[in-house]
Amino acid sequence: MGHQYSAVLWNRQKKIYDLVLLAGVIVYLLVFIVVSQFLRPEITEETLIIRATGSLALLMLHIILAIGPLSRLNNRFLPLLYNRRHLGVSMFVIAAVHGVFSILQFHSLGNANPLVSVFSSNLQYNSLQEFPFQTLGFFALIIFFMMAATSHDFWLANLGPKFWKTMHMLVYVAYGLIIMHVMLGIVQSEPSVLLVTLLGAGFLLIAGLHLLAGFRESKSDVEKSPNQRGYILIGQVSEIPENAAVTVVTNGEKVAIFKYDGKVSAVSNVCKHQNGPLGEGKIIDGCITCPWHGYQYLPHDGCSPPPFTEKVATYDIILEGEKVYLNPKPYPEGTEGKPAIIKSTLNQDI
């Protein structure tokens, strides 16, 4: 996988992803500018920039938030997830242009520090209608900045996946802040059924997709309890797709059970990169390959092939005839477990 790592940094898929991203941004800005100039020729350049970038950033935020549940609901959306980080960083840059232009336009060259002015000019924090909406955008921008600044895997490794994931959950807080930023800002100023409808539809879409994906998962995530011997019945060998997995939840942990090369192995379902669902991955070149960004693990010991050092927990599998059982006691991460050999396949092979 050595050469593949460098390929992960910059490769054809990623280039296509970024090109589509760039094209989308250009389409948005162009249409916004042309329509504004044509229908509202009196608009100033500053207002044009502020509005085009603010609304574009919000659209991108919706796409970013939709990709997660979409790809959990349907694998075919995984290509959108693969380079979501670039989408996120681009969104931050565009939101920052909006924020900086707004601060320059509305707060600079006055008798107060522009950053102080964002908070101190309108002081009606006690009124919903008059609320200083810009402050909400400001905090959201800080969140996006933290996420963009720590988006690189370097930070993921240094901050630890738990902390990193928690911090990235702040995106939902930022989303809420932005909705209020728009509702208490432009919607107060220029009441509009269309804007409220667009915002509402966006919110329903994001909330609906998350609920649906969560519901699906919770249905498939029913805890299975062990039998008297302490094993969990997974099902028939034939129910596990070749070079892919089924999953089961036990003791609150999700386990992926893979069938490959006439063997059955079980590993923790949680990818060490960004907690991607290994059970939705595939065996490629003998390795479990994460569906999200392609991190790989050997199925028998849960170790990433050298030079990589990621390790996931492994489990014992017991085969009784056609029946597959899991011993729910995990081995420490990266411990070699004994894969169960499928006899019928062996017989066929001989």
Site for another protein in 14-43 (CB under 8 A): 14, 20, 23-25, 27-33, 35-36, 39-40, 42-43
Amino acid residing at 8: V
Nearest approach in angstroms of CB 125 to another protein is: 9
Tell me: does residue 307 bind another protein (CB under 8 A): no
- Give φ, ψ of 125 to 5 degrees: -70, -15
Dmax over CA atoms of the chain, in Å, equals 87
Considering only residues 295 to 334 of the shown chain, the ones binding ligand FES according to CB under 6 A are 295
Question: Which of ligand FES, ligand HEM, another protein, none sits in contact with 4, Cβ below 5 to 8 A by type?
Answer: another protein
Considering only residues 257 to 316 of the shown chain, the ones binding ligand HEM according to CB under 6 A are none
Residue 290 vs residues 2, 73, 272, 297: alpha-carbon distances, Å: 16, 16, 10, 8
How many positions of this chain bind another protein (CB under 8 A)?
82
Residues β-bridged to residue 233: 325
Select the residue interacting with ligand HEM from 48, 159, 186, 213 (CB under 6 A).
186
Question: Which of ligand HEM, ligand FES, another protein, none sits in contact with 302, Cβ below 5 to 8 A by type?
Answer: none
DSSP one-letter string for 82-145: HTHHHHHHHHHHHHHHHHHHHHHHHHTTSSS-HHHHHHHSS--TT-TTT--THHHHHHHHHHHH
- Matching residue, tokens 């019928």: 344
Q: 122: phi > 0 → left, psi -120 to 50 → alpha, else beta; which?
A: beta
Q: Smaller CB distance to ligand HEM: residue 118 or 267?
A: 118
Nearest approach in angstroms of CB 96 to ligand FES is: 26
d(CA 313, CA 259): 17
Select the residue interacting with ligand FES from 62, 293, 300, 311 (CB under 6 A).
293
Select the residue interacting with ligand HEM from 90, 134, 274, 314 (CB under 6 A).
134
Considering only residues 249 to 278 of the shown chain, the ones binding ligand FES according to CB under 6 A are 271, 273-274, 276
Q: Smaller CB distance to ligand FES: residue 137 or 279?
A: 279
Q: Smaller CB distance to another protein: residue 308 or 331?
A: 308
DSSP 30: H
Tell me: does residue 292 bind ligand FES (CB under 6 A): yes
Select the residue interacting with ligand HEM from 70, 87, 182, 240 (CB under 6 A).
182
Tell me: does residue 294 bind ligand FES (CB under 6 A): yes
Q: 251: phi > 0 → left, psi -120 to 50 → alpha, else beta; which?
A: left
User: Do residues 242 and 259 lie in contact, with contact meaning Cβ atoms separated by under 8 Å?
Assistant: yes
Select the residue interacting with another protein from 154, 162, 169, 189 (CB under 8 A).
189
